[in-house]
A and B are shown apart, each in its own frame.
Chain A
Amino acid sequence: MQIYLPIAELSMNLFFLIGVGGAVGFLSGLFGVGGGFLLTPLLIFSGVPSAVAVASVTGQVAAASTSGALSYYRRGGIDLHLAMYLILSSTIGAMAGVATFAALRAAGQFDLFVSASYLLLLGFVGTLMMIEAMRTFLRRRRGIMIPDKLPSQHNWMHGLPMRIRFKKSRLYISVLPVLGIGLFIGWVGALLGIGGGFILVPALVYLLRVPGNVVVGTSLLQVVAMMCVTTILQALTSQSVDIVLAFSLMVGGTVGAQFGASAGKYLRGDQLRALLALLVLAVAIRFGLTLVLPPSDPFSMAIAAAGAAS
Chain B
Amino acid sequence: MRRLLLALALLLAASPAGAEKLASTVSTPNVQITSSFDGATLSLFGTIEPDTPGIPLAGPYNIIVVITGPLQDRVARLKTNNFGIWTNTEQQSFKQFPSFYEVIASGKLENVASPEVLEAEHIPPVDQAQLTAVGGDTPTALRFGNELVRLMTEEGHFEVTEDGVRFLSDTAYVAQLTLPSDVANGPFLAHTLVLKDKQLVAERTEGFSVRKTGFENFVFVASRQQPLLYGLVCVALALGTGWLAGVVFKR
A residues adjacent to B (C-beta < 8 A): 2-4, 6-7, 9-11, 47, 59-60, 62-71, 74, 108-109, 111-112, 224, 227-228, 231-236, 239, 241, 243-244, 246-247, 250-251, 254-255, 257-258, 290-295, 297-310
Contacts and interface: CB of A to CB of B under 8 A. Distances in A.
Interface centre among B1, B185, B216, B224 (most CB of A within 10 A): B216
Nearest to A7: B223
A228 B235 contact: yes
Contacts of A246: 234, 237-238
A3 B216 CA distance: 11
A294 B72 contact: no
A91 B85 CA distance: 34
A302 B242 contact: no
B241 A231 contact: no
Given A10-B182, A47-B182, A251-B241, A301 B75 contact: yes
Contacts of B95: 307
Given A3-B35, A250-B238, 9 more contacts: A67-B241, A234-B231, A241-B234, A243-B230, A243-B234, A301-B75, A304-B93, A308-B71, A309-B186
A62 B250 CA distance: 19
Contact of B88 (A10, A64, A111, A254): A111
Contacts of B33: 4
6 nearest A-B pairs in the assembled complex, by CB-CB distance: A66-B242, A235-B231, A10-B182, A254-B245, A70-B246, A232-B231
Interface string B12-56: 000000000000000000000111111100000000000000000
Contacts of B152: 301
Interface residues of B, number: 71
Interface in B138-196: 144, 147-148, 150-152, 181-187
B75 A302 contact: yes
B231 A257 contact: no
Interface centre among A10, A234, A293, A300 (most CB of B within 10 A): A300
Interface in B67-107: 70-81, 84-88, 93, 95-96, 99
A305 to B, nearest CB: 5
A300 B186 contact: no
B120 interface: no
Contacts of B228: 232, 235-236
Contacts of A64: 242
Contacts of A6: 212, 215-217, 219-220
A243 B243 contact: no
B239 A66 contact: yes
Given A7-B220, A67-B243, A310 B3 contact: yes
Contacts of A233: 231
B59 interface: no
Interface of B: 1, 3-4, 33-39, 70-81, 84-88, 93, 95-96, 99, 144, 147-148, 150-152, 181-187, 212, 215-217, 219-220, 223-224, 227-228, 230-235, 237-239, 241-246, 249-250
B223 A244 contact: no
A86 to B, nearest CB: 18
B182 A293 contact: no
A64 to B, nearest CB: 7
Contact of B238 (A59, A70, A298): A59
Contacts of A108: 88
A234 B79 CA distance: 29
Contact of B230 (A241, A295, A310): A241
B241 A300 contact: no
Contacts of A65: 242
Contacts of B80: 298
A232 B150 CA distance: 37
A295 B80 CA distance: 9
A300 B88 contact: yes
A72 to B, nearest CB: 10
Contact of A291 (B86, B185, B220): B86
A292 B85 contact: yes
28 contacts: A4-B216, A6-B219, A6-B220, A7-B219, A10-B182, A11-B38, A47-B182, A59-B235, A63-B239, A64-B242, A67-B241, A112-B85, A112-B88, A224-B239, A228-B235, A235-B223, A235-B228, A247-B237, A254-B241, A257-B242, A257-B245, A292-B85, A300-B88, A306-B70, A307-B71, A308-B71, A309-B187, A310-B1
